[in-house]
Structure 1
Amino acid sequence: MAVGCLDRLGAADAETRKRALQAVRAVAAEPSRSFEELVGPLSTFLTDEDRAVRLTTAKLFVALAQSEPATVLLVGDALAERVADDEEFYYVRARCAEALGYVAVDSPAEVTDPGTLADLRIGLSFDEPEVKEKLAKALAYVALGDPDRLRHQVDSLAEHLNDENKLVRYHLCTALVVVGCAHPAKLADAEDMLRERLTDESPYVRGRAAEALGVLTASDVEIESTPALDDTDAEGGETPSFLTDRVRFCRRRVADEYSESPPTGVGTIESIREGTDAVVEEMLSPDEGECPHCGLALPAGGPPMCPRCGVPR
């Protein structure tokens, strides 16, 4: 019955299609519902002629991927095609990449073939800020699903650690930490860029960079000098525990204080998997007068859109 309704919905006007899909999205957030029979018909709206309908559908799949990633896996190819289409509206591509990221945690091999991984990485150089943020997030979740899939991409990910968007920098640092937990020596390819992030304006990026360097010290790679951590967590005011915990972790790694008892809560794939969503939520709690996405200082009464990244205030 529901499939038949979706078939008839395709003949309705664009506004009706959008409202109906918004209603489905609200239901998709409820884990008690099953959408296995509906994801195929729903995926047809990813290529709808109306841009708003396509975006609503992409957001629907993000919600569904969070509650039913295995179900969204059935239409992973359709989502990947939207990500690969550089003529698609960039918000649609961003949301499709985000949905793939959630699915990749459980099924990295099935949704991140070499072509899709290339689309995610290449987009970091050329895409709109909103898309780059979701591409970086997807790559972090790919790493959480299977660190091996990015073990040969460390240097290419590190190239974008100076992106102007703090969330891009955070997600990529997170991906590198995850890869390093499985293959610590691989982080040698990103060491210089990670050291630069120790002075990042975001304490969360600094924290991930310190965590990555701490992971690197556990490898057999010879590190030329001790990471400059003295001022990393000494900014005054309220320094997030996220940063201080990771600076402490790196210092103890350098001093080889974990030789007998391994660390807990930091420097492990499990700790990142369990905590990264909460960290992003904390990062997006806007400071007064600051863009929650890129951190640009915004004057009171300024424009409704951030002039740097274009995201609504």
Structure 2
Amino acid sequence: MEDSDPDRLAARITEGDAEAVVATVADLTAVDADTRKRALRAVGDAVDDGTRLDGAAVGSLTSFLTDDDRAVRLTAAKLFVALARTAPEAVTPAVDSLGERLADDAEFYYVRARCAEALGYVAVESPEAVADPATLADLRVGLEFDEPEVKEKLAKALAHVALGDPSRLRHHVDSLAEHLDAGDELVRYHLCTALVAIGCEHPDRLTAAEAALGERLRDESPYVRGRAAEALGLLAGTEPPKERADAGEALDEVDADAAPSFLLDRAEFCRRRLADPASDPVSGVGTVESVREGTADAVAAMTVPDDGVCPHCGLDFADGGPPMCPRCGTPR
């Protein structure tokens, strides 16, 4: 039937006809899984092209998060990530549904990861809609997953929660610090970013993460090292100041000729604070606003793909390997 045509759903969303969207979604429940997936992808294309959805349309799409077909649920979760990235306020009606998928231990872990990612984007703009104790617990417990991409999405969501409201995670510094030695660079980066956001408003709370952050000052990633230095600089600004000789030695190892400005600026910030807790700030460092503005560029720099290496989990590909990474399942 015409109303079950995938392109028709996207067209009705583009037209802004909420009632027609809801009716079309209802019709799609009677068609095969491939058609439902194509419909969701068509909606995703419309969103990428600038279409904005209202609450009624978003609410109707949540039914796909509990679809019987796992691939449909994953496609729906990816759609909500796209929606939340471009218009987080529009996804507020779907927060409960996304939270239920995240909390479902029996759900496919990639569906849970994408739901967490969507919730994170909402949390930046509307932290009160996302950061209830149960959701925060699900995000933190999820860091125990072995799958690199899943842990990365959960860590990213936690960073977004902290950027939305640093107070939300101030009592969880120790549990975040437990995962700062994760094997995935992006996990370490996002968790350090969350700690920096917390430290911008509650620097004394970072005491519980001081040892773990100190270890990250020698991290192989300059972006992780930079965030760790930024967090320790915030901690050094608390009273009374403490001796932090190990941090000073690690900072002295930063190579001014080879290190990116991201690390150099944060190393300088930390040095100044270690020398004088009341020192003048370094521009673009040590505020929630600067973290928000700089995170996307830092992640982009970290995820520039090397030839033959998965940008998500770092697996080396053999020549002529498959189009999907055999470890984490993401496209090459």
Q: Fold conserved (TM > 0.5)?
A: yes
Q: Residue 162 and residue 307 in structure 1: after superposition, are their counterparts in 2 closer, same or farther (change >3 A)?
A: farther
Pairs within 5 Å for 1:1-313: 1-226=20-245, 227=247, 228-234=249-255, 238-256=258-276, 259=279, 261-295=280-314, 298=316, 301=319, 303-304=321-322, 311-313=330-332
- CA separation in 1, counterparts of 2:70 and 2:318? 32
The change in CA–CA distance for 1:293 and 1:36 in structure 2 (over 3 A counts) is same
Alpha-carbon spacing, 1:145–1:307, altered in 2? closer, same or farther (3 Å): same
- Aligned 8 A contact 2:241 2:277 in 1: no
Corresponding pairs, count: 310
Residues 174, 230 of structure 1: alpha-carbon distance in 2 compared, 3 angstrom cutoff: closer
2:169 maps to amino acid: L
In the alignment, the residues of structure 2 paired with residue 63 and residue 83 of structure 1 have an alpha-carbon distance, to the nearest angstrom, of 17
Contact 1:98/1:138 (8 A) holds in 2: yes
Q: Is the Cα–Cα contact under 8 Å of residues 166 and 293 in structure 1 kept in the other structure?
A: no
* Offset at residue 113 of structure 1 (A): 0.8
Whether contact under 8 Å (2:180, 2:216) holds in the other structure is yes
Shift of 1:132: 0.9
Cα deviation, residue 124, structure 1: 0.6
> How does the TM-score come out when normalised to structure 1?
0.92
8 Å contact kept, 2:189–2:224:
yes
Q: 1:232 to 1:3 in 2, by over 3 A?
A: farther
Q: Secondary structure at the match of 2:153?
A: helix
**CA apart distance, 1:19:** 0.4
Larger radius of gyration: 2
Q: 1:103 to 1:201 in 2, by over 3 A?
A: same
Contact persistence 1:139–1:175 (CA under 8 A):
yes
- Structure 2 gaps, min length 5: 1-19
* Cα offset, 1:83, TM superposition: 0.8
CA distance in structure 2 between the aligned counterparts of 1:118 and 1:257, rounded to whole angstroms: 34
Deviations along 1:4-26, one digit per CA (max 9) or x if unpaired, are: 11110111111110001100011
Distance in 2, Cα, partners of 1:210 & 1:24: 42
Instruction: Say what the alpha-carbon RMSD is for the aligned residues.
Output: 2.1
Look up the equivalent residue of 1:229 and give its one-letter code: A
Contact 2:223-2:263 at 8 Å conserved across structures:
yes
How far 1:239 moved relative to its partner?
2.4
What is the distance in 2 between the residues matched to 1:230 and 1:100? 35
TM-score calculated relative to the size of structure 2 = 0.87
Paired letter, 1:234:
D
User: Unaligned regions of 5+ residues in structure 1, if any?
Assistant: none
Q: Secondary structure at the match of 2:93?
A: helix
Distance across 2 between alignment mates of 1:310 and 1:4:
34
